[in-house]
Structure 1
Amino acid sequence: MEWQLVIDCREPSRLVAFWAEALRYRPQPPPDGQPTWRDWYLSVGVPAEELGEGDCADRLEDPAGAGPRIWFQPVPEAKTIKNRLHIDLKVGGGRGVPVAERRLRVDAEVARLTALGARVLGAMDDPENGYYSAQLADPEGNEFCVV
């Protein structure tokens, strides 16, 4: 079985740019030898007025082929409530790594992601239980964690 993660959003190109860098993914090439996603959408009958401007690149893939594809599905409404599903970016190394080192790794990744347009929402700092993570939001407000 093949599967992909679908994220509803207002501006797919904005999230494609952010998440490609955040996840070290790449934009997925359009299918069937089409030069752009816009051309592909038109070829399958999507009306031009639904596509907006640009090449309509709205999908990512893992260059190593290990992770799921991600489709940023355009929707008319803005995000209004907390996600019911979120992504954890695991950069700390797990509980086998001392919490002080995990904190350094997480904080470095948070700095990289905020430079890309993420916003810090908070942190979970519980050294007595060996836990540290940060909660962020992507450019459209979708929450995710760095652990």
Structure 2
Amino acid sequence: MPVFAGAVVLSLDGKILNQLRDDKPDILYPGYWSCAPGGHVDPGESPNTAVIREMREEFGIELTNIKPIVTLFEPRGEIAGTHHSYSAELSTPIEKVQCFEGQKVEFFYPSQALKLKQIPLSKKILELYLNSLTP
């Protein structure tokens, strides 16, 4: 089964990076937002390293303070596999964030991000992250 890694990326002002996926019928969740973008973990690569690589590839960004949120296993369906999810802080200046994959990237406050048409697993990861902040 495939292994995936993604991150909830926080800006200094408390907003979360969100990626609007391409609107192509041959991809999963076309036209949906992802508040925990990422991708496949390559053979021999750790999930943590994969998150760093994916964020560089997709947005040209660097991260700090990378912490695990949850690891979820989806046994079947379109997203079958192991999903490693992290939180991280954006260390690249926000004005230098680029979008190399998807339609665009924007930063939203968590309450705004939850109202977007999010990939269900991505939304679940954000909710788990936000719940972990509440004592």
Tell me the TM-score normalised to structure 2 length.
Answer: 0.26
Please identify the structure whose Cα radius of gyration is greater.
Answer: 1
Hey, which of these two has a bigger chunk of strand by percent? 2
Tell me the TM-score normalised to structure 1 length.
Answer: 0.25
Greater length-normalized contact order (CA 8 Å, ≥ 6 residues apart): 2
